[in-house]
Amino acid sequence: MSAVESFINYKAKTGMQCGNYSIDLPPLSEGEQYRFHFDATKCIGCHCCEVACNEQNNNPADIKWRRVGEAEGGKFPDTLQLFLSMSCNHCIEPACLKGCPTNAYEKMDNGIVFHHDDVCIGCQYCTWNCPYDVPVFHEERHIVTKCHMCYDRIEAGQTPACVQACPEGAIEIEVVNKNEWLSGAIDKEGNAPGLVDARITQSTTRWTLPENMPKLTPMDKDLIKPAHKELPLVFMTVLTQVSLIGFIALLLGDIAAKFTNLPEPSFVMAFIVFALSAIGLPLSALHLGRPILAMTAMKNLKTSWLSREALFLGLFTGGMTLTALLYYLHIDGFFRILVELVTAALGIYGIYAQSMIYRVPAKPTWNRATTTYRFFATGYIAASLLALIALFEKEPNVANILLAIAILLGSIQLYLFIESQRFYEKKSDYAYQIERAKKLLENQFRPLYHFRKVSLPLAALLLPLFGLIAINAGSVGFGFLFIATAVILGFASEFIGRLLFYSTAIKTGMPGNFFAGSQRG
C-alpha cells in the first residue's frame, strides 16, 4: 500500500475529511466542459496530489504533471504562506495544441486537452508554448507527456487521483460554461499570483484565494536554473540563417551581372551557401526525442510555426540544390534567376517562421520583434564569407560590395545586441523572469557573455571594415586575413550568442516550484 493510500485510509477511519472517491457531475450541455477548481485557503502544501498523480500515471519522481508551488509575503505579524497546486488548465485555446507540429494534442468534447503519445516526436515545442509550464519531456520515453485529468477515471465515475488524494479537499472537478467564463468570470477567478494572465490561453482553472493577500514572493526566487542548451538548434538556426543571406547575395549578384560588368557568382559560392543549410537543417532532428519521425513535423501547417519552418526551409534547401546544379552546369539566364527568386522567397518565409517559433508569451526574453530581426541579421557572416571567396577568385570589386553588405548587416546585429542589453533594464510585466535571465548572463554565463560583447563588434563591424580598407589600399593579403578572421570569429560569436539565447530563456510557470523535476526550459 502506498503512502498516499495509507494516509487516505487513516483519514477515512478517523472520520476526518478526505478527497471524494466518487464523482457527481451533471452531464455536459452544449458549450460546457470539465475544469479544475483549486482552493488555496485549504491547501496545506503536503504534496499528496503530486505523489498520487505520479502513482496513478506510473511516472518517475522527476516527471510532474501536477506541481505544488509556494510563495510568501507580508510583514510580521501579518504574514501569509500560500501554496498553489496546478496541473494542466485544459485551456479553451490551448497554446500547446496550436503549436504542436504533429497534431499530437486534441481538445476533447468534454474539454480535456489530451496528448496522443504515439504521434509525438518529442520536439518539445509545446513545452515552450505553454505559459504554465505544464507539458514535460519524458527522457526515458523520448516524448512529451502531460495531465489528462485522469479522463479514464472520470469516464468510470471516479475523481482524478489528485482530487481523491487531497486530504483537505482543496482540488475539485467542476463543470464550466465556457461563454459565461469568458464573459468576465475568468478575470475574477481565473488568475493566481505568479501565473500569467489566464486570457492568454483562456485557462479554465478556477482559483479560490485568501482575501487581502499581500504582495507574494516565490520561495524559489534565489534558485535560478538555466534552460536547456539546445545545441542542435544552436547550430541549425545559425547555419540556416547565414545560408539565407548568402543565397540572397548570390541572387543579387546574378541579377547585377545581367546589367553591369560585374562577373556572375561562381559555382563555389552557390555550393557554399547550399552546404550551410544542407548541414544545418538535418541537425534539428537531433533535437527531437524521436528523430526517426522528423518528417511528420509538417502535419500542422495551419497553426504551427514549427511545421511551417520545417516545410519552407526544406523547400528552400531543395531550391538551393537546384540552383547549385544550374551553376555547375553553367545554365544561366532568366530561368536561373527565376529559380533563385522563388528559392529566396521560400527561405525568407522559412526564417521568418523560424523566428516566430520563439515569439511566445511563455518565454519573455524571446517574445520580441527584435528576435526576428536578429535572426535575419545573423547573415552578416555570409556576406563576409562570400567576400572571402571573391578575393580567392581574384574579384576584389565583388569583395568590396559584399563587405559593404556585411558591414551594414553587422551594424544592425550590433545595434540589436545593444538593444537587448537595454531590454534587461526596462520595466515589464515579466520582470521576474527577465531579472532571472539577467542574473544567469552576469553570473553562470559571465565568461561567454563577455566573449559575445567583445567578439560581435569585431566580427560584425571592425574586421570587415579593416578588410575593406586593406583591399582598397592594395593590401589584398591583409584584407584576406582580416576577412577570414571576421568569418571565424563571427561564427563563434553567433554560436555563443545563440547558446545564451536558449540557456537564459526563463519561462513563466508555477511560482515557488521547487520540485519541477526534469521540466526543460
- Encode pLDDT of 273-316 as tens digits: 999 999 999 999 999 999 999 999 999 999 999 999 999 999 99
Report whether pLDDT(10) > 80: no
The CATH number of 231-427+434-503 is which of 3.30.460, 1.20.1630, 1.10.443, 3.30.750? 1.20.1630
Give alpha helix (H) positions in 380-423. 380-392, 396-423
Q: What is the dihedral of CA 455, 460, 466, 469, to 10 degrees?
A: 180
Residue that is written with C-alpha cell 563587405 in the block: 403
- Residue type, position 343, single letter: T
Residue that is written with C-alpha cell 496541473 in the block: 87
Report whether pLDDT(157) > 90: no
338-347 per-position pLDDT tens digit: 999 999 999 9
Model-level pTM?
0.92
Higher pLDDT, 22 or 303: 303
Measured from the Cβ of residue 289, the count of other Cβ atoms closer than 10 Å reads 17
- Predicted confidence band at 22 (pLDDT cuts at 50, 70, 90)? low
- Predicted confidence band at 25 (pLDDT cuts at 50, 70, 90)? confident
User: To 10 degrees, what angle do helices 396-423 and 446-457 make?
Assistant: 140
110-156 per-position pLDDT tens digit: 999 999 999 999 999 999 999 999 999 999 999 999 999 999 998 88
Long-range contacts, stretch 57-63, CB < 8 angstroms, 24+ apart? 57/161, 59/138, 59/145, 60/140, 61/517, 62/517, 62/518, 63/136, 63/138, 63/145, 63/517, 63/518
Residue 147: per-residue pLDDT: 96
Domain residue ranges in the chain? 16-218, 231-427+434-503
Distances (CA, A) of 124 to 89, 313, 391: 18, 19, 43
The CATH number of 16-218 is which of 2.50.20.10, 3.40.190.10, 3.30.70.20, 3.40.50.970? 3.30.70.20
Residue 234: per-residue pLDDT: 98
The residue-averaged pLDDT of 158-184 equals 94
Measured CA to CA, the distance from residue 369 to residue 99 in angstroms comes to: 19
- Predicted confidence band at 55 (pLDDT cuts at 50, 70, 90)? very high
